[in-house]
Structure 1
Amino acid sequence: MTHATGPSPATAAAWDALGGDPALLSRVSHLTRAGALPARLPVRELAAACVGVCSLAAAELAATRAGRDVGAVQVDDGAVATAFTSERHLLVDGRAPVSFAPLSRFWRTRDGWLRTHANYPHHRARLRAALGVGVGAGEDATVADVAALLAERSAYEVEETVYAAGGLAVALRTPQEWAAHPQGAQVAARPLLTRERLDAAPPRALRQPLRVLDLTRVIAGPVATRTLALLGADVLRVDAPQLPEDPDAHADTGFGKRSTRLDLGSGADRRVFEELLSGADVVVTGYRPGALDRFGLAPESLAERRPGVVVASLSAWGAYGPWGGRRGFDSLVQVATGIAAVEGDDMDGEGGPGALPAQALDHGTGYLLAAAVLRALTEQATGGGSRVVRLALAQTAHWLTDGVRPEPVGDGGAPEPAVLLAETDSPLGRLRYALPPVSFDGGPTDWRRPPGCWGADAPVWPTP
């Protein structure tokens, strides 16, 4: 049995953070399903709220463009749960992707637990170098060596050692320990997201299709730009040639987009990027804070060169505090903020830390990021101004642990995932993929194009 309700308190809170008109919340209907994204923390409620406000922001922008009232928005827990685990439903020519490399896992340490992230070759090399193990050895031998080494070391000491080497490792903390941490305290003192007007640029016509420069990697940012592509935007993802991309991650989040590679340290490629910027409406960045500033990609610098642009900035820990410049991923943020401790077994017994039923911080923040862009465009249509929106996985984590509350739900389970999946041929092979959860009257139900080969598109805007 399912249960139809209006917008949840979490949806209302997220809509308020986005600066939305509270009267529009009456357009949202929510089909709740027991069994969707089961967890100790209210993951189902967070996921539905993130998709709900994204759908409402899309409906609002569509209505603004058409000069009509905002239509109805539908949120279905089944569709949301399937989309939040899209990487698990993906098949490429019948093959299921491998989500985590052998060195991306929990490790028992002398004084607790540690989680590492080493999916990319450069992160893996830095982790091995920091620990002094496995260099040149096979993966199996490396796992055994690392396990033996870490069993004798402090999780907090390894966290700092690996970070200093440019790698990724985070010690497990309880919610109370994270609240007492300087970064946790700064996260808790800030809102879910921030919105800022940078200048007095005049209003711009709502171009169709919207042009989006996508400088993001690894789930959250790509989910946001995949959603903008669903809604009709011309999204061009720009990657550095020297940074490898996981082909399965590209297949999952590349729907609706084009993909190119530019070396922004090269004068010629930098000029190409500036030409792209001159025709862009939105720039979305997902690298650690400050990493792109040397290329003139700080929001204020972008607005100076492209007045009226909307800049969306995503980070792991927030662009502030002692961890403001650190790299991070969803799995690591879960560990630092206490989520993994809450979702784990008895920490004093034989069990260990746990994880959310989806990479919900990534997916949830991705839909919030898309919603923030859509709302900025709606506000800009009448108020003008270059605008910047900033979100962080850690801020979404704080909302999940301290702001979202469990809500009543019907007794029935989620629908079979098969009804929420589709298949298509693509340059990457035959793909099975999760359908988008964003739904509103008159809105799209699928992407217009499958993902192409990574980096294979020309760095130009198509001629209108």
Structure 2
Amino acid sequence: MNQARSSGTEQAWAALGGDPALLAHIEPPARGGSGGLLPARLPVMELARSTVAVCSLAAAELAARRTARPVPRVRIDDGAVATAFTSERHLRIDGRAATTFAPLSRFWRTADGWVRTHANYPHHRARLLATLGLPADTPDDTAVETAAASFAGRPSDEIERTVYAAGGLAVAARTPGRWAADPRGAALAGTPLVGRDRIDGAPVRRTAALAGEPLLPAAGLRVLDLTRVIAGPVATRTLALLGADVLRIDAPQLPESPDAHCDTGFGKRSVDLALGSRSGAAAFDGLLADADVVVIGYRPGSVERFGLTPQALAARRPGLVIGRLSAWGHGPWAGQRGFDSLVQVATGIASAEAAGPGGTPGALPAQALDHGTGCLLAAAVLRALTEQHDEGGSRLVTLSLARTAAWLLDELPARREPDADAETAAKAAADPSYDPEKWLTETDGPLGRLRHAVPPVAFEGSPADWSRPPGPLGADAAVWLTA
């Protein structure tokens, strides 16, 4: 297959190691009159549609293995996809809109260009303020004024180095060419969109045959969810939709956004475990002994210090499927903190989406790197489960936001001309008839009445919604529900 001319779905399915013949099971997208969703200069809707399609197909493939029936037909609704990729914007918690970006998470003009900071978490905010000589309790308006004056007289790269050295988050805006020439970007060249490795020769572990409706290809599977923010939780939320018993594990000392959890915590349970303590490590070992999947979304080095390398996990639980997600992938920044908005800035996406030459860098119409990588991660786990079902072996799948960014920038079809005005292109492509209400629903639960996006992953017989709403973080017991 000529990848330069293949569709995004074909590219993603090939990256997952899927049988190309199964692509025939994907029905043409049901647009419902919507032809201009997630408008941008870059092919964002192609990325969104493709990642949801391959996730749906991977779920259908696993369902076929577990029912000994033909692979169900996959159906993709563009409206559902676009709404799900902007789910945090549509979320309402007892009528209140969710908090997304904090005042200090934004673009700043510098002496030679632009820099973007991320300060949504209190500890990141405090570290950013420390580099400006400000105490952590500085009011937002004062902090913004001081940061603007300080950054305006400093080079972007110097700000990036200083803030990262202090444990904060600031990334200089680069063009795609500058990122490709940078050692951090060059390290990704030639790497697969989805890394797929067989760790050992563990025997096949087959779960019970599926029965009943809806069709839940991950029913009976147990997933340890060590992820935060958006991409990893989107992946595990998808596995929960498909029937997995997903148990999210958080460190008690790390803050998490309650609003983000309201968006991505559907279908899961949540427990706090201090993995560095004797009791926490023992509880984790007990869960791992019966786990089928471990999904890790922390930056490399964060959990390895607790002995949680892929090889060590597989040795302790042969036949395990391990999903590994990071912001920056391989290379000099492999162990650095990162978020979707920062990866967009570093890799040149923000430059490509700028309003015009020399203008403020732009942003994608969705946190598409997060949502797209999350869908791909869920698909990779599902495909690894199918391969384990057929051939055995512990499996490792590896993805990064930066590698997904390269896919969006350089490999997906239908990219617009680089000299087109992004604002004009967005207005021309936007579909005024699109109304997200069609793909929103309401669910009552422990965290209140939640208005949220419906799942975009769909195939014949698939569930229409999650089995449970999100509950309070850390409120559940460290035990499996499934036998």
Q: TM-score, normalised on structure 1?
A: 0.96
Aligned equivalents of 1:133, 1:140: Cα separation in 2: 12
Equivalence for 2:193: 192
Equivalent of residue 299 in structure 2, options 288, 307, 324: 288
In structure 2, the CA distance between the partners of 1:414 and 1:280, relative to structure 1 (3 Å rule), is: farther
C-alpha distance after superposition, 1:124-154 (max 9, x if no partner): 1111112323543211111111111111111
Aligned equivalents of 1:317, 1:119: Cα separation in 2: 19
Aligned equivalents of 1:454, 1:311: Cα separation in 2: 23
Pair 1:254-2:265 in alignment = yes
Shift of 1:256: 0.3
Equivalence for 1:4: none
C-alpha distance after superposition, 1:352-378 (max 9, x if no partner): 111000000000000000000000000
Aligned equivalents of 2:131, 2:299: Cα separation in 1: 20
Pair 1:344-2:342 in alignment = no
Aligned equivalents of 1:206, 1:376: Cα separation in 2: 14
Pair 1:397-2:391 in alignment = no
Shift of 1:322: 0.8
Query: 2:343 aligns to what SS in structure 1?
Result: helix
Matches within 5 A, 1:60-459: 60-206=61-207, 208-318=219-329, 320-348=330-358, 351-406=359-414, 415-459=434-478
C-alpha distance after superposition, 1:315-336 (max 9, x if no partner): 0000x21111111000000000
Matched-pair contact (CA < 8 Å) for 2:373–2:401: yes
Amino acid at match of 1:355: A
Shift of 1:424: 1.1
Q: Which ranges in structure 1 are unaligned for 5 or more consecutive residues? A: 1-6
Equivalence for 2:30: 31
Matched-pair contact (CA < 8 Å) for 2:228–2:297: yes
Equivalence for 1:9: 7
C-alpha distance after superposition, 1:381-440 (max 9, x if no partner): 010000000000000000000010128999976642111000011100111000000010
In structure 2, the CA distance between the partners of 1:398 and 1:109, relative to structure 1 (3 Å rule), is: same
Corresponding pairs, count: 455
Aligned equivalents of 1:274, 1:82: Cα separation in 2: 38
Farther-moved stretch of structure 1 (56-65 vs 126-135): 126-135
In structure 2, the CA distance between the partners of 1:414 and 1:211, relative to structure 1 (3 Å rule), is: farther
Matched-pair contact (CA < 8 Å) for 2:37–2:431: no
Query: 2:75 aligns to what SS in structure 1?
Result: strand
Aligned equivalents of 1:331, 1:441: Cα separation in 2: 35
Farther-moved stretch of structure 1 (146-155 vs 32-41): 32-41
Query: 2:71 aligns to what SS in structure 1?
Result: coil
Aligned equivalents of 2:432, 2:197: Cα separation in 1: 41
In structure 2, the CA distance between the partners of 1:8 and 1:432, relative to structure 1 (3 Å rule), is: farther
In structure 2, the CA distance between the partners of 1:395 and 1:414, relative to structure 1 (3 Å rule), is: farther
Query: 1:188 aligns to what SS in structure 2?
Result: coil
Aligned equivalents of 2:127, 2:185: Cα separation in 1: 26
Amino acid at match of 1:103: L
Aligned equivalents of 2:160, 2:222: Cα separation in 1: 40
Amino acid at match of 2:396: V
Query: 1:15 aligns to what SS in structure 2?
Result: helix
Aligned equivalents of 1:130, 1:291: Cα separation in 2: 24
C-alpha distance after superposition, 1:224-281 (max 9, x if no partner): 0000000000000000000011000000000000001000111011100000000100
Aligned equivalents of 1:286, 1:412: Cα separation in 2: 34
Matched-pair contact (CA < 8 Å) for 1:78–1:414: no
Aligned equivalents of 2:431, 2:96: Cα separation in 1: 31
Amino acid at match of 1:107: W
Amino acid at match of 1:56: L
Amino acid at match of 2:475: A
Shift of 1:165: 1.0
Pair 1:462-2:470 in alignment = no
Matched-pair contact (CA < 8 Å) for 1:134–1:142: no
Query: 1:187 aligns to what SS in structure 2?
Result: coil
Amino acid at match of 2:445: S
Aligned equivalents of 2:137, 2:231: Cα separation in 1: 32
In structure 2, the CA distance between the partners of 1:410 and 1:123, relative to structure 1 (3 Å rule), is: closer
Amino acid at match of 2:289: S
In structure 2, the CA distance between the partners of 1:448 and 1:85, relative to structure 1 (3 Å rule), is: same
Amino acid at match of 1:226: R
Query: 1:159 aligns to what SS in structure 2?
Result: helix
Aligned equivalents of 1:82, 1:138: Cα separation in 2: 34
Aligned equivalents of 2:180, 2:168: Cα separation in 1: 24
Amino acid at match of 1:358: A
Matched-pair contact (CA < 8 Å) for 2:292–2:320: yes
Farther-moved stretch of structure 1 (293-302 vs 365-374): 293-302
Q: Which ranges in structure 2 are unaligned for 5 or more consecutive residues? A: 209-218, 417-427
Equivalence for 2:421: none
Percent of residue pairs bearing the same amino acid type: 65
Aligned equivalents of 2:473, 2:91: Cα separation in 1: 17
Matched-pair contact (CA < 8 Å) for 1:110–1:154: yes
